[in-house]
């Protein structure tokens, strides 16, 4: 996010520009044209959800690996020759941590983390009520029991509820998601972690290049887990990254991911004596990253700050153009947060359930797809997780926070003009919904 004074200036300038032109040359923000639903034509000629293309350098490196028939991460004769090992080393340097282990998904990284934490069947694991279903699924895979913690209006974990449930449950592990990049009060969360002596695992699938008081998310707990699925900050279709400063955790992660017969020698920065001692104690789950995945990811590390700048610019522009609408509430991050801003979430206010669902449908017809977290069949609504029975009815705060929460993708290919068109369409559709 921009500094507060910078944000205020940009907000005022963009707001004045929008209302003087109606967002895109219009005289008013009221509906001036026929929408698609009324038999008109869409003015959207872009796909706001289109995924980032793989950089050409990543494509070339992947093709080189495929042409050589080298796709298994342990096939190269040395760590220096392994694309995956070099990616791990580079990401460790970027994040300022000792160890990175590539996996086949962020879910696998979290599953490995739970195993490293010593989670046993029936153990209680503190986690977000508001997150993607992959997180409680991982807990279920570990045969543990999710204890769902409330979210606040900004969609971050409620530290007070975390404290209460840590005390009541006796849980020793916190697996916390930064869902859609939303960051809770990390000082308050860490106070709870220390108070209850919790092992803290961070799900950073949506938190690339995101900081709290200058510190990268993923480095507050013992373990950070990142996703490289198609919609994430670094994209390879699938994949995950496990980071830690704990030498023993790194050693175990390499073995859990699927190293055997001293293949761990093809990793950087592992303690050989420790690896020899653990080699035959840890089961392997075949959750390794492959060379082609690592190749696609390698050039993307250096691009993260550039991509972030684009996201922040677009997010701030869209915020300034829609924030004053009576039906839109956009919670701002805490001032300590420096966000990646690759999506925008906002609450629809003053609308019925039917009107909110109609808004989503009409926006889709206009060419700007988005979703409501609290809608039916949304995998981010904990009420849809039928494999979890615990205290669903108690989570009134989270229900209120997701019931009318819209999720809009802002991929980095979007231009300033694209953002202005999105804003215009949102105003027009809301005018239509309101009968204006």
Q: How far is CA 228 from CA 102, 104, 205, 301, 324, in A?
A: 10, 9, 8, 11, 35
Q: What is the pLDDT of residue 393?
A: 63
- Label residue 142 by pLDDT band (50, 70, 90): very high
Q: What is the pLDDT of residue 318?
A: 98
Contact 144, 113 (CB under 8 A): no
Tell me, rounded to whole angstroms, the distance of Cα 316 from its chain centroid.
Answer: 19
> Helix (H, G, I), strand (E, B), or coil: what is residue 317?
helix
* CATH number 3.50.50.60 given to 4-53+302-433: no
- Alpha-carbon distance of 35 to 14, in angstroms, equals 25
- Ranking 25-39, 54-68, 117-131, 244-258 by mean pLDDT, the lowest is 25-39
Residue in this structure with the two tokens 């981010």, named with its chain if needed = 380
Residue in this structure with the two tokens 């950073």, named with its chain if needed = 204
Cα dihedral across residues 369, 373, 374, 379: positive or negative:
positive
Q: What is the pLDDT of residue 52?
A: 87
- Label residue 3 by pLDDT band (50, 70, 90): very low
pLDDT in tens, 256-290: 999 999 999 999 999 999 999 999 999 999 999 99
- Ranking 72-76, 88-92, 385-389, 422-426 by mean pLDDT, the lowest is 385-389
- Alpha-carbon distance of 76 to 93, in angstroms, equals 22
Tell me, rounded to whole angstroms, the distance of Cα 21 from its chain centroid.
Answer: 35
DSSP label at residue 239: B
pLDDT at 359 exceeding the cut of 50: yes
**High-pLDDT (> 90) share of the chain, %:** 87
Q: What is the pLDDT of residue 25?
A: 40
Residue-averaged pLDDT of the chain: 92
* CATH number 2.30.130.30 given to 56-299: no
Domain boundaries of the chain, sorted by first residue: 4-53+302-433, 56-299
Q: In this predicted model, which residue has the larger pLDDT, 4 or 134?
A: 134
Burial 92-107 (b: 16+ CB within 10 A, else e): beebebbbbbbbbbbb
- Alpha-carbon distance of 320 to 314, in angstroms, equals 10
Query: Could you tell me if residue 317 is left (phi over 0), alpha (psi between -120 and 50 degrees) or otherwise beta?
Result: alpha
Beta strand spans in 29-144 (E): 99-103, 124-128
Q: What is the pLDDT of residue 29?
A: 54
Residue in this structure with the two tokens 């995956």, named with its chain if needed = 84
- Label residue 399 by pLDDT band (50, 70, 90): very high
- Ranking 4-8, 180-184, 344-348, 404-408 by mean pLDDT, the lowest is 4-8
Q: How far is CA 180 from CA 11, 155, 215, 231, in A?
A: 23, 9, 18, 11
pLDDT in tens, 196-238: 999 999 999 999 999 999 999 999 999 999 999 998 999 999 9
Q: What is the pLDDT of residue 188?
A: 98
């Amino acid at each position: 996010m921009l500094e507060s004074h910078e944000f205020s200036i940009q907000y005022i300038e963009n707001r004045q520009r929008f209302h003087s032109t109606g967002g895109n040359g219009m005289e008013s923000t009221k509906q001036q044209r026929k929408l698609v639903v009324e038999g008109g034509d869409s003015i959207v000629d872009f796909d706001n959800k289109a995924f980032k293309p793989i950089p050409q350098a990543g494509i070339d490196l992947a093709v080189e690996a495929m042409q050589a028939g080298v796709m298994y991460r342990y096939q190269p004769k040395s760590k220096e020759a392994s694309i995956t090992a070099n990616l791990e080393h580079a990401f460790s340097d970027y994040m300022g941590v000792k160890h990175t282990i590539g996996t086949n998904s962020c879910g696998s990284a979290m599953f490995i983390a739970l195993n490293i934490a010593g989670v046993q069947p029936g153990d209680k694991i503190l986690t977000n009520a508001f997150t993607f279903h992959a997180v409680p699924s991982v807990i279920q895979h570990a045969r543990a029991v999710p204890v769902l913690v409330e979210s606040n209006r900004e969609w971050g974990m409620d530290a007070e509820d975390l404290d209460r449930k840590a005390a009541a449950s006796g849980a020793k592990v916190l697996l916390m998601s930064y869902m859609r990049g939303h960051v809770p009060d990390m000082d308050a969360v860490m106070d709870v972690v220390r108070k209850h002596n919790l092992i803290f695992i961070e799900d950073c699938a949506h938190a690339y290049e995101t900081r709290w008081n200058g510190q990268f998310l993923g480095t507050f707990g013992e373990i950070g887990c990142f996703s490289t699925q198609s919609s994430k900050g670094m994209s390879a279709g699938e994949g995950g990254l496990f980071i830690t400063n704990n030498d023993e955790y790194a050693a175990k992660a390499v073995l859990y991911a699927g190293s055997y017969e001293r293949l761990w020698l093809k990793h950087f920065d592992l303690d050989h004596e420790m690896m020899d001692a653990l080699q035959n104690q840890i089961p392997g789950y075949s959750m390794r990253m492959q060379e082609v995945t690592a190749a696609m990811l390698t050039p993307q590390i250096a691009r993260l700050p550039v991509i972030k700048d684009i996201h922040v610019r677009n997010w701030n522009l869209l915020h300034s153009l829609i924030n004053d609408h009576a039906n839109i509430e956009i919670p701002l991050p805490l001032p300590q947060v420096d966000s990646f801003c690759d999506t925008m979430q906002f609450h629809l206010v003053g609308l019925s359930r039917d009107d909110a669902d109609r808004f989503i449908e009409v926006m889709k017809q206009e060419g700007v797809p988005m979703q409501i977290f609290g809608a039916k069949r949304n995998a981010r609504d904990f009420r849809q997780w039928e494999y979890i029975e615990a205290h669903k009815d108690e989570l009134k705060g989270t229900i209120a926070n997701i019931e009318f929460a819209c999720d809009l993708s802002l991929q980095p290919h979007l231009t300033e003009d694209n953002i202005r068109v999105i804003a215009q369409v949102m105003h027009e559709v809301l005018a239509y919904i309101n009968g204006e």
